[in-house]
A and B are shown apart, each in its own frame.
Chain A
Amino acid sequence: MKKRVRVIERDDVVVKFAGDSGDGIQLTGAQFSDTSAFIGNDLATFPDYPAEIRAPQGTVAGVSGFQVRIGHKEIQSPGDQADVLVAMNPAALKANMNWVKPGATIIVDISSFDSRHYKRAEYVEDPLGDGSLDEYNVVRAPITEMTRDVVKRFGLDLKTADRTKNQFVAGILFWLFNRDLKIGENFLRDRFRNNPKLVEANIEVLRAGYNYAETVEAIESTYRVKPAEKGPGYYRNINGNTAIAWGLLAAAEKSGCKLYLGSYPITPASEILQELVKTKNLGTIAFQAEDEIAGVCSAIGASFAGCLGVSTTSGPGLSLKSEGIGLAVITELPLVVVDVQRGGPSTGLPTKTEQSDLLQALYGRHGESPCVVLASSTPANCFDFAYEAARLAIEHMTPVILLSDGYLANGSELWHIPEISELPKIKVPRIKDNDPSFKPYNRDPETLSRFWAVPGQEGLRHHIGGLEKADVTGEISYDPFNHEIMTLLRRDKLDKVVYYIPRQEVIGQPEGDLLVIGWGGTFGALYTAVQEMQEEGHSISLVQLNYINPLPYNIPDILGRFKNIVVCELNLGQLATYLRSKLPHFHYLQFNKVQGLPFLISELKHKFEEILGFSGS
């Protein structure tokens, strides 16, 4: 007789997939996220993988993970701890035991829980037999074994056969979450569209996993998460890197400037280049250069010739591009540089997230060379800020550095597809052929930006370059007073950008006991922590900065309305340092973390409670 299975309605559920880096963990995670998005759940994902392509099998160092939180309400963070953990081997179990909730469902591939695997994972005893998991609902599924049985008739080699075992896991989860199997089958048909045999094999395995979960009676409850309460419209699941690529494409189309990307592959930014080389049909020039320097210099050349010049990179690449960015500052050409930050310095933690390039973006160039600095704060708003970076670069004839990070780049969430017609206009400061008033360094009195004359235009021939230019005429000038005038003009031009960016919003009450300040990719965790504490009755608000240079004009006003200010960053205090120099009359507390990992909601709340406790409220 079949056991009655409880269906639990949940506002949100966190699922973590973990296994060897070759186990197809990222694919299973992506598939689960996509089907969740398809049925309308809000979601946030956090892939976490080792730097090595195929790290030593079965070791804790080689564990690849993918965490996804799906929900009925607004989801801003992939969550601290999992409700469901899928562990493909003992190492995956070991690496994640601190990150599961009490009473969580843990699905293990029992086929790989043998003494050889325990040893690799440096377990002394069988973790399934030593009582350490008694508090959890452990499902011992013979995933590898059953998968091999199912695919036997397809005559696949062992390696290919074993790769399909992630679909067994997917099948279990489809059942666990009361999902329609057809959605998963369609995903596989699309994924392996060039190989019908693989489609069939994977679908068989998916169904086998589903049937296994239904019959095994090991699972006491299943989950149902209702579709999210989002506004009407079209949606899709999007990650930060794709969103950046698409934001740039939208800005190019809207401005009428051809998009030129000059980039060099680097983790975790390569996907932006990979996405844009696929858009030749939209006229994109995406150029894989010989190095980071050539990437940015070719983008500057393309901007000179009238394109929207862009270069995408990560921290080490931003260092190499510094001189080039300085050239764009003095030639006053539009340039967008995207830095998808990772753990540093040097090669550091290439696949892990960090926010330690802020001061480099603000100040990491020789000479007085100010740039606009923006930061995106969710995977989906990477679209908005890539667009915004392009708008500001073009309208103000300046380099703009957009900071994203590894967490946003690989993480994904639901994205409300915008109407192109509703995106902000981009005013391109081009000048007409033979305009008698043209001088290379004549400026628009409102923005102080110069005008954009491009090769091929008649009657506008001019020379630009890295030597200091005479005000207005743009001829080479070594005059000391002219250099000071030009330096001040370049600074003032940047300062004027403040009139073209929105005011800063406060999440929560506009005054109170504690103001939390964050920037960029920490938004999800900070928002969730602050919101939970607001619900618990604390006087706490959040300011998440997206515009860092210049800062929105109302920042001092906001800061003055709170008793305490804490700046939370995944670095040792770079924004705090910047705020202290810009707005020195406020006192800034700090909360910092540099573990290559996002903030946990729990550690943030702990810190905030501590501050509120000390301040006596």
Chain B
Amino acid sequence: MENYSKTTAKDFKMDNDVRWCPGCGCHAVLSAMQKVLPETGIKKENIVFVSGIGCSSRFPYYINTYGFHGLHGRGAAIATGIKLANPGLSVWLVTGDGDSMAIGGNHFIHLLRRNLDINILLINNKIYGLTKGQFSPTTPKGSITKTSPSGTIASPFLPGELAMGAQGNFFARVVDNDLEMMQKVFIAAASHKGTSLVEVLQNCVIFNDAVHSEITSKELRDENQIYLEHGKSMLFGKNKEKGLIQDDSRLKAVTIGQNGIKKEDILIHNAVDREDTKHYMLVRMMLPENPIAMGVIRSCEAYTYEDTYYQQIEASRNKSTVGNVNDLFMSGNIFKLENHNGN
């Protein structure tokens, strides 16, 4: 934890203009990240922000670390190369619902499957912003957008489901108007060893304004969000008077004191359980029956790809008698010709 006291949020700010629209949720995400990075204790030279293409993918330009603004959908692949090349770096991938759920879907699932120690911020506004208002793979079914004048036809992806289906070990969800929640979760993601996916429910003021307002608005958020913490009861509501219980194969929102429900009946969140059934249930909870799950939903330890790769290198070095390319070239079937050969 070198330099812990030396850096502050200011050190991670750039002096260029941040060009997101006024009121865009990305401003808050950036601000939360700039506050979090000093707390991770990692030297800023050792941090790399990688992104794809989209509004949120401008992120690396606004944060004073190494940065790589890549190709549409390919941020995960670029980040993979960086992390494998130098596992000592702290690598963040900032991406959006178009970038990672559509054009980069393949790289996204394989990054999770491999479990490289990369932190992903998936900024989900359920619309294409940079190309001005076409539907994305997370746009709710039936939505009218520039490319769906009669309403979208297909069911949207739930990023958390996709991540767990791809063997993901860490999934969290936050909202862009809760700075404290973002900071807590970003730190948890940073300290998780392995691929960590944080879905940020972000508001696009121009093309999809208020898409998350049922979840995020001041009036509704206490009733419509449940913030999960490992080892704690799954409680929500203004006075934490509500909670979740398991009813047959689904989770059910209940009020303590009604229908004989006691506080002890409320489920306790186990984020580290390898068995992911309950994590799926939490990810899938929908309004109006249930609140939307926030916080770290799943956080399991597993070997990372790069650690195993470098262990294989080490083992191979210890076992092999070939220590450089000359040894390699001279191994196996070689023969020597003298000056004048022939018989």
Contact = CB atoms under 8 A, between A and B. Distances in A.
Contacts of A163: none
Contacts of B343: 226-227
Given A250-B325, A455-B45, A463-B61, A236 B337 contact: no
B327 to A, nearest CB: 9
Contacts of B326: 420
A108 interface: no
A301 B68 contact: yes
Contact of A327 (B71, B76, B82): B71
B20 interface: no
Interface stretch (B192-200, B206-214, B274-282, B315-323): B315-323
B334 interface: yes
A556 interface: no
A305 B333 contact: no
A281 B86 contact: no
B333 A34 contact: yes
Interface centre among B47, B77, B82, B330 (most CB of A within 10 A): B77
Given A456-B45, A465-B69, A467-B69, A293 B74 contact: yes
Contacts of B309: 285
Kindly list the 9 A-B residue pairs having the minimum CB-CB distance in the complex, ordered from nearest. A465-B69, A301-B81, A298-B81, A297-B77, A463-B67, A281-B320, A305-B85, A301-B78, A302-B81
B338 A232 contact: yes
A234 interface: yes
Contacts of A281: 313, 316-317, 319-320, 322-323
Given A40-B335, A234-B335, A279-B328, A285 B85 contact: yes
A237 B333 CA distance: 8
Contact of A298 (B84, B86, B316): B84
A2 interface: no
B46 interface: yes
A71 B50 CA distance: 55
Interface centre among B47, B79, B82 (most CB of A within 10 A): B82
A463 B66 contact: yes
B288 interface: no
Contacts of B67: 462-465
Contacts of A214: none
A109 to B, nearest CB: 28
Nearest to A305: B85
B106 interface: yes
A291 interface: yes
A240 interface: no
9 contacts: A227-B337, A229-B341, A230-B337, A230-B341, A234-B336, A236-B334, A283-B317, A463-B60, A463-B61
Given A294-B110, A304-B78, A464-B67, 8 more contacts: A253-B325, A297-B70, A300-B81, A301-B85, A304-B81, A331-B68, A457-B45, A460-B45
Contact of B328 (A246, A258, A293): A246
Interface of A: 34, 37-38, 40, 72, 226-237, 246, 249-250, 253, 258, 260, 262, 279-283, 285, 287, 289-291, 293-295, 297-307, 309, 323-324, 327, 331, 417-418, 420, 454-467, 475-476
Contacts of A327: 70-71
B88 interface: yes
A412 to B, nearest CB: 12
Contacts of A229: 341-342
Nearest to A277: B312
Contacts of B317: 280-281, 283
B324 interface: yes
A297 B74 contact: yes
A233 B337 contact: yes
Nearest to B326: A420
Contacts of A303: 81
A289 B219 CA distance: 47
B332 interface: yes
A287 B316 contact: no
Contacts of A234: 330, 334-336
Interface residues of B, number: 61
Contact of B334 (A235, A456, A458): A235
A291 to B, nearest CB: 6
A287 B110 CA distance: 13
B188 interface: no
Contacts of A253: 324-325
B107 A280 contact: no
B59 to A, nearest CB: 10
Contact of A461 (B45, B70, B71, B313): B45
B136 interface: no
Interface centre among A227, A294, A454 (most CB of B within 10 A): A294
A289 B77 contact: yes
Contact of B333 (A236, A293, A297): A236
Contact of B71 (A289, A307, A324): A324
Contacts of B134: none
Nearest to B334: A236
B80 interface: yes
A454 B333 CA distance: 40
A229 B45 CA distance: 57
Given A234-B336, A260-B84, A455-B89, A226 B77 contact: no
Nearest to B305: A287
Contact of A287 (B51, B84, B333, B341): B84
B64 interface: yes
A281 B65 CA distance: 33
A456 B89 CA distance: 7
Contacts of B84: 260, 285, 287, 298, 302
Contacts of A262: 77, 81
B89 to A, nearest CB: 5
Nearest to B64: A461
B342 A236 contact: no
A463 B68 contact: yes
Nearest to B113: A290
Nearest to A301: B81
A301 B80 contact: yes
Given A281-B320, A461-B45, A232 B339 contact: yes
A305 B89 CA distance: 9
Contact of B78 (A38, A290, A298): A298
Contacts of A290: 106-107, 110
B48 interface: yes
B330 A417 contact: yes
Contacts of A250: 325
A433 to B, nearest CB: 9
A297 B75 CA distance: 8
Contacts of B328: 246, 249, 279, 282
A465 B68 contact: yes
Given A37-B335, A281-B317, A287-B84, A458 B70 contact: no
A367 to B, nearest CB: 13
Interface string B259-297: 000000000000000000000000000000000000000
A294 B106 contact: yes
A254 to B, nearest CB: 9
Nearest to B321: A281
Nearest to A278: B316
